[in-house]
Amino acid sequence: MGRPTGAGGGDDADEITEQMAKMLAKIEEQKKYLIAGADRNANAKEIAYGGAYASMEGEGAFSVDAFRETFALTITDASEERVVFEMEGCSAAFANAFRRIIISEVPTMAIEKVYMINNTSVVPDEVFAHRLGLVPIKADPARFEYRGPNDLANETNTIVLSLHARCHRERLDDGSLGEVVNRSVYSNALQWCPDGSQLPEEERAKYSDFKRSQRESFGEEELGCVHDDILLVKLAPGQEIELECHCVKGIGQEHSKWSPVGTCWYRMVPEITILEPITGADADVFMERCANFNDTHACYACEGKGDKKTVKVVETRGCDLCVERVRELTGEPGWDEKIAVRKHKNHFIFTIESVGQMKPGTIFKEAVKILASKCQNVLSTL
């Protein structure tokens, strides 16, 4: 005989099903979103263990096939020195790997050695050498080799630049003194030396070993300084500076002067979510605090009148001006149940700002190659 079912058995089953649905929805939210609260962030951890979400469809562990299906990259803004793109379908670890590689492992050319011939300015030799090291050098690093600790400068591993400036007053035709010349020395004073070092013969052999001219491989516009208007030093009449710089290939991990970017960062894509209808007086408060601070702001709209007035989200991402205002509002009593600022854990807005040696798109492509090489090295050792 079967066991009799209580009168409330069906209701209990429905209640359990409803509770399970709520639990799964909560787990799904924890998996996909970071909740940006007024004073803390919730669900900030990323869980990649395969059995972490066993109660849900699919595995929690990383899958190459799933990554190929879901990953997408969309460029939203691009210029000669800046690119903004969105990466979707990847983890924060993946985005951060690109950020770190771009900052510290994409190679560029930079001034490494400064041979001071004469310096009568008020700037000490070592300080001036540091200033020169931070001047961005225009050159394709792929066309140069790394210079070893015992290698001499040659046409394949070094770019030689020279600078000679003397501050003086012009002598006019009538014998009187005119304007001061070379009061300010800029980066355009650094001249490319395609045949190698211009130091005296006995000194040149110690530091340089050019076999052929770099003019055979490079044009005048291919090597030099990225910007010609960087102030290097100010001189007074009678002061002079003469030096030679040797530029070599390196990476930002060794020194920031080799970093190809001024800055590189990413942020999670935000999402403004209304949890409960915001109506009446609350709608007025919300619009005043988070929407009507600017005449051109249009991320939210208010529909209806009086007690039926209701806030609608027009732009779910919000904007830089309002997301933080909404986040602060959620810290006040009652508002955390009405609205939330959620951030997608697998969707990032990535920004690269180049110093100028390389286009930002090229920098990212180089970072992809470096990351792929790292992965290949790991696989080869397994």
Angstrom distance (rounded) from CA 363 to CA 375: 19
Residue 177 confidence (pLDDT) above 60: yes
Q: Is residue 326 part of a domain?
A: no
Angstrom distance (rounded) from CA 26 to CA 3: 35
User: What does each C-alpha distance from 201 to 165, 214, 299 come to in angstroms?
Assistant: 22, 19, 69
pLDDT at 55: 57
R_g of the chain computed on alpha carbons: 31
Q: Is residue 9 part of a domain?
A: no
Q: Is residue 215 part of a domain?
A: yes
Q: Is residue 246 part of a domain?
A: yes
Residue 59 confidence (pLDDT) above 80: no
Mean pLDDT, the chain, integer: 89
Query: Region 342-351: what's the mean pLDDT?
Result: 94
pLDDT at 52: 63
Residue 226 — very low, low, confident or very high, per pLDDT cuts 50/70/90?
very high
Give CA torsion, residues 252, 256, 259, 263, to 10 deg. 120
The number of helix segments (H) and strand segments (E) in the chain equals 8, 18
- Is-contact 183 239, C-beta < 8 A? no
For strands 108-119 and 240-250, give the pairing.
antiparallel
Residue 205 confidence (pLDDT) above 80: no
Q: Is residue 71 part of a domain?
A: no
User: How do residues 74-117 score in pLDDT, each as one tens digit?
Assistant: 999 999 999 999 999 998 999 999 999 999 999 999 999 999 99
Residue 1 — very low, low, confident or very high, per pLDDT cuts 50/70/90?
very low
Q: Is residue 98 part of a domain?
A: no
User: What does each C-alpha distance from 37 to 279, 306, 322, 329 come to in angstroms?
Assistant: 22, 30, 14, 9
**CATH code: domain of residue 131:** 2.170.120.12
Total domains, the chain: 1
User: How do residues 251-289 score in pLDDT, each as one tens digit?
Assistant: 999 999 999 999 999 999 999 999 999 999 999 999 988
Q: Is residue 204 part of a domain?
A: yes
Angstrom distance (rounded) from CA 166 to CA 198: 18
Percent pLDDT > 90 in the chain is 63
Residue 140 confidence (pLDDT) above 70: yes
Q: Is residue 291 part of a domain?
A: no
Query: Region 4-14: what's the mean pLDDT?
Result: 63
Domain ranges, residue 202: 108-258
Residue 137 — very low, low, confident or very high, per pLDDT cuts 50/70/90?
very high
